[in-house]
């Protein structure tokens, strides 16, 4: 049976696992411009697709990679090969009031295809983050240095770590999923101190002519299965009026 370790939450294991897939009612947001379904089936991420970092990999000699890893040093994950649990889930780290289309909050908004995914450890090996190469297909909001056809890197805290024993441990922020290589997304991004490197605020996968929320947040989830053309028209309108 998979064992879970949850950060900042001291409850019995059975309660913790059950609570992991429950949205706190006290954090439900105000209604977005479209009516939300009265009930949404819990979105459980496919953790088998989370990128993997090798714990035994030596520290990179790339200054840019080290600069990115530094901000995850002294992480709350406390990555440790000797931890008994198979998964560590961090809770209460997402904004349940995030709008479905957070134009104002995003530094950049792009439509792009994920071409590569890789997880990395922080420099001190206490943290883990996942990085995705994204080829830009369309730019909706440009911080000034983006162009169609170029590749940017987007990242998100968490991922899987493979320890020397061969055991793989999952580090997950509750309610957040990871993009998949080979798939197209609308991504709402926040800026970092490194050019062409962004953090994922949230996003939508474009699949079979519709959009599907990347994260299990109430307002984005209310747009699941919206026709992609309709969603993009609304997004472009909001960007133009911002």
pLDDT of res. 116: 98
Domains and CATH numbers, the chain: 4-17+46-241 (2.40.50.120)
Q: How many whole angstroms separate alpha carbon 55 and alpha carbon 161?
A: 6
Tell me the whole-structure pTM to 2 decimals.
0.84
For residues 119-130, average pLDDT? 97
Q: Are 126 and 73 in contact (CB under 8 A)?
A: yes
Q: Are 161 and 52 in contact (CB under 8 A)?
A: yes
At 80-110, the pLDDT tens digits run 999 889 999 999 899 999 999 999 999 999 9
Residue 87: which residues within 8 A CB-CB, separation 6 or more? 2, 3, 4, 5, 47, 169, 170, 171, 172
């Amino acid at each position: 049976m998979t064992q879970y370790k949850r950060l900042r939450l001291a409850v019995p294991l059975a309660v913790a696992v059950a609570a992991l897939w429950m949205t706190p009612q006290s954090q439900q947001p105000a209604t977005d411009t479209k009516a939300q379904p009265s009930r949404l089936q819990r979105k459980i991420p496919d953790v088998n697709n989370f990128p993997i970092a090798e714990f035994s990999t030596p520290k990179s000699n790339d200054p840019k990679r080290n600069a990115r890893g530094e901000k995850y040093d002294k992480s709350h994950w406390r990555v440790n090969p000797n931890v008994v649990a198979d998964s560590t889930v961090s809770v209460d780290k997402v904004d349940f009031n995030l709008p479905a289309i957070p134009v104002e909050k995003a530094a950049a908004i792009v439509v792009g295809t994920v071409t590569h995914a890789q997880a990395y450890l922080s420099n001190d090996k206490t943290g883990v983050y996942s990085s995705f190469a994204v080829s830009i297909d369309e730019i909706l909001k440009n911080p000034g240095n983006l162009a169609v056809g170029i590749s940017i890197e987007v990242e998100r805290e968490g991922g899987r770590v493979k320890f020397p024993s061969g055991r793989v441990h999952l580090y997950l922020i509750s309610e957040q999923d990871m993009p998949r290589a080979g798939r197209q997304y609308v991504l709402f991004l926040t800026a970092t101190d490194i050019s062409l490197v962004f953090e994922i605020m949230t996003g939508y996968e474009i699949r079979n002519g519709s959009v599907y929320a990347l994260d299990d947040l109430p307002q984005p989830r209310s747009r699941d299965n919206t026709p992609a053309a309709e969603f993009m028209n609304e997004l472009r309108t909001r960007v133009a009026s911002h």
